Chains A and B, each alone.
Chain A
Amino acid sequence: MIAPTKFRLASAMPVLVLVGLCVVISLIEPRFLSLDNLIRIAAASTAPLMLALGVTFVIIMGSIDLSVEGAMAFSSAVLAAGVANAANTGLNLGLAALPLVVLGTALFGALVGFIHVFLKVPSFMASLGMSFIGLGMATVLLGGERVVITDPYVRALTLTRVLDLPIAIYVAAIMFLAAWVIENHTIFGRHVYALGGAEHLVVASGVNANRVRVLAFALSGFFIGVGSILASARLGASSVSIGSGQLFTAISAIVVGGTALSGGSGGVASTLVGVLIVMVLNNGMVIVGLPTFVQQGVLGVMIIIAVLLNQRNRVLPVVK
C-alpha cells in the first residue's frame, strides 16, 4: 500500500513547506517569529488571500480567472466614488458603500461568466478582456490619479486594532470561513468540483452547468471585491494600479498551495496555505536580507517545485 501513503504525503507537502520555511527563516533571524512580525505577515496576507480564494473556485472548476487586476481597479474606483475621498467627489455613503462595491464587483465577475458561457469565449480570454475593460473604466473614473480615501470606516480596517489585530484580519478570517462553507457544505460547492472533474457527467446528471459557471465567476468577483476594499484600505487610496502584480501573487499562491490548474482538486484551505507560503517568503527574504534579484528567483523556484509536488504519482500523457 505505497500509493496512498505517497498521496497523503503530497497533500501535506504545502503545510510542511510552510513550516519548513518558518523554521529556516527563524533560525537565521529569530525576530521573524515575534508577534509583531506575525501580525505584519497576516495583515499583508489579507488582500491576496481574498483574491486567491475567489480565483480558487474558478480554477477548481477547470477554468481560469485572469480578471483580478482589472476587477480590482474597477472595484477600487467604485469604492472611491462611494466613500469620502480627498478630491471631495465621493458620495460619502460610509459603510453602506462596501456592500455596493462588493456587489458591483460580483456583477463584474458574473459578466465574465456570461461572456465565457453564453458567447462561448474561453475563460482566459473572457476574463483577460474584462480585465482591460475594468482598467479602462477605472481610468475614466479616477482620471489617472491616485485618489486618497479619507473615509474613517474604510481606513479603520487597517488602522484600528481589536485585541492587537487589525480589523482586516478578522474580515479575512470570516471570509475564509464563508469560502470554506461554500466549498464543503453547499450543493454549489460540490458542483464546482464535479465540473472540474468530469463536466460531461455533471451535465448528463441534469446539473445546469452554465448556471454553476456564471455563479463561480460571480463568486470570484465577490471575493476580489472584498480583496480590493482591503487593499485600498491598506494603501489608503484608490488607484488604477491597485491590483498590479496581484494576479501573479494569487495564481502562484493557489498553485503553491496545491490546487491543480487542471481543475477538480485542491480547495480554499490549500489556498490559505499557499498565500501564507508566498507572504512568509516575501517577508522572510527581506528580514534575512536577500537581495531583490535572488528573491524573485527563489519565488520562481518555489512555484516550479510546488507544481512538481502536485503532480503526485500521476502519469501525464501530455503536458501543455
Chain B
Amino acid sequence: MFIRNFLNQSMIDRRRFLIGSSLGVGALAASGGQWPAAAASGYSLASSIRSLSNAFHAAWNKGSEAFATSVGEHYQALVTEGNSEKGLTDIKALLAKVGDKTILAVDPNDSPDARPIVEAVAAAKGRVVTVWNKPDDLHPWDFGDNYVAHLSFSGVPAGEQTAKALFDTFGGEGGIVALGGIPSNVSAIQRKAGLQKALAANSKIKLLDFQDADWDSTKATNIVAAWLTRFGGDIKGVWAANDSMAVGALEALRAEGLAGKVLVSGTDGTKDAVQAIKNKEMAATVDWDPLWIGGITLSLGYHAATGKFKPSDESRAHREFYGTGALITQADVEDYWKKHVEATPTIDWNDLWGRLSGQITYN
C-alpha cells in the first residue's frame, strides 16, 4: 500500500525530475500508468497529446492520471509524436475497443485533425473534449452530447500582461526588443497581438526590433547577442513569447553580465522561468496549468457520460471557453513557489466551470 501511495504521489507531482530515485516511476508514467482500478464502472479514459518529452504535455498527462485515479477508472496516454495520422489511428483503435465507454481529451496535432476525431468519437457515441486547436467552424453544440466542450487559452492577455510587467521593471520608459514564436502559430500571433496592445497603451516604450526565434532557446540566445551589438544599452527589457526563448535570452544577457539588470518576460510558467523570476532576473510569465487541463478535460467528459450534467442543456459559454492563465510576477512568485512548486496543488476536479474566462470569440 505504501508503494502504491508513493507511486501515486510521484505521478501527480508535476515537478518530479526523473533522474535518480524516481527513474522507475518515469518508466511507468511513460507507459501510461495503468493499474487496477478500485471501483471501475468500465469507462476508458484517454488523453491524446503530442509527446511526453515536453514539460507541458508531461504535466498534462500527470493531471489526467490524477483525475483517473480519483475516480478509479482506467487511463492511458495516446502519444501522436506530432503525427496527425498516428493520432487519429490510435483514437480509432481505442474507439473500436471500448466504443461508447470512451472518454477522450485531445490536443489535436493540427486544427483540421479535430473534425475527423470528433466525428469518429460521436459516431461511436463516446465523449470528447478538445483543447487548443480546432477549425473555427467546428462547434461542440453541433454534435449533441458527444462533443462535450472545447477549451483554449487566449494568448492576447498573456502577451499584454507580461509586457506590462516587463515595462514596470524599468519605469515604463525606454526601448525593448521582442522574440516571437513560429510566426504561423495561433499562440504566437495572439501573444504578439497582446504585446502590441501593451505597446499601444504605453507610448513611451519603443519596440526596437521584433524577431521570430521559433520558440527555440538557442536561436533566442544568438539573436539577443546580436541585438546587444546593435542596440547596446538602449535595451531596457526583452519580451519573449514563451519561456524557452526567455531563458535563452536571459543566458545571452548573463554571458555579458547583464542578467538581473535587463529583465526578460516569457509565457508558459516553466519551472526554470519561475526560478528566474524568483532570482529577479525575469519579470513575469503566465502559467497555463497543464496539470489542471489534463484532469479537468477528462472530468468534463466523465461527468457528462455519468449524467452529472447534460452538455446540450448547457450554455454555449460552457461548451467553448477560454481557461485562465495565471500571471506570475516578482511580487507574487514566492507565494506561487510555495503552492505550486514545493507542494503539488490539490485541484477540485468537480469544479468544472470555476476557471473559465469567457466564451471563445472568432474574428
Contact = CB atoms under 8 A, between A and B. Distances in A.
Whether A associates with B in a native complex is yes
A190 interface: no
Given A141-B18, A239-B217, A244-B216, A146 B55 contact: yes
Contact of B226 (A239, A241, A244, A283): A283
Interface stretch (B129-137, B227-235, B328-336, B352-360): B227-235
B16 interface: yes
Interface stretch (A31-39, A216-224, A259-267): A31-39
Given A40-B225, A245-B216, A146 B53 contact: no
Contacts of A239: 217
B171 interface: no
A90 interface: yes
Interface stretch (B63-71, B269-277, B291-299): B269-277
B225 A43 contact: yes
A139 interface: yes
B52 interface: yes
Given A143-B58, A245-B218, A286-B211, A86 B272 contact: yes
Contacts of B272: 86, 146, 148, 237
Contacts of B214: 245
Nearest to A231: B218
Interface string B179-223: 000010000000000000000000000000101101011110111
A29 B230 contact: yes
A166 interface: yes
A98 interface: no
Contact of B270 (A40, A142, A146): A146
Contacts of A140: 18, 23, 26-27, 30
Contacts of B237: none
B254 A240 contact: no
Interface string B1-37: 0000000000000011111110100110010000000
Contacts of B216: 241, 244-245
Contacts of A85: 17
B229 A142 contact: no
A80 B209 CA distance: 34
A225 to B, nearest CB: 17
Contacts of B315: none
A242 B62 CA distance: 24
B248 interface: yes
Interface string B262-295: 0000000011100100000000000000000000
Contact of B251 (A36, A235, A282, A287): A235
A248 to B, nearest CB: 12
Contacts of A202: none
Interface string A42-81: 0110000000000000000000000000000000010011
A127 interface: no
B165 interface: no
Nearest to B271: A145
A90 B218 CA distance: 23
B254 A236 contact: yes
A235 B217 contact: yes
Interface string B230-251: 1000000000000010011001
A248 B254 CA distance: 27
Contacts of A289: 209, 230
A292 interface: yes
A158 B30 CA distance: 34
Nearest to B224: A286
B76 to A, nearest CB: 17
Nearest to B29: A143
B57 interface: yes
A239 B245 CA distance: 13
Given A146-B270, A289-B209, A86 B275 contact: yes
B229 A287 contact: yes
A210 interface: no
B63 to A, nearest CB: 13
Q: Most chain-B Cβ atoms within 10 A of its Cβ — which of A89, A239, A286?
A: A286
Given A286-B223, A287-B226, A147 B17 contact: yes
A151 B152 CA distance: 39
A90 B226 contact: no
A145 B19 CA distance: 11
A286 B226 contact: yes
Contacts of B58: 143-145
A287 B53 contact: no
Contacts of B16: 143
A147 B270 CA distance: 10
A159 B255 contact: yes
B51 interface: yes
B54 interface: yes
Contacts of A235: 217-218, 221, 247-248, 251
A287 B209 CA distance: 10
Contacts of B226: 37, 40, 282-284, 286-287
Given A85-B17, A235-B251, A241-B217, 10 more contacts: A31-B229, A43-B255, A44-B222, A87-B19, A140-B30, A143-B17, A146-B271, A148-B272, A231-B218, A279-B222
20 contacts: A36-B228, A89-B21, A136-B53, A139-B53, A142-B18, A144-B51, A144-B53, A144-B55, A145-B15, A146-B244, A146-B247, A158-B251, A236-B247, A240-B53, A242-B218, A286-B209, A286-B223, A286-B226, A286-B227, A293-B183
Interface of B: 15-21, 23, 26-27, 30, 51-55, 57-58, 183, 209, 211-212, 214, 216-219, 221-223, 225-230, 244, 247-248, 251, 254-255, 270-272, 275
* Nearest 4 A/B pairs, CB to CB: A144-B58, A87-B17, A139-B53, A286-B226
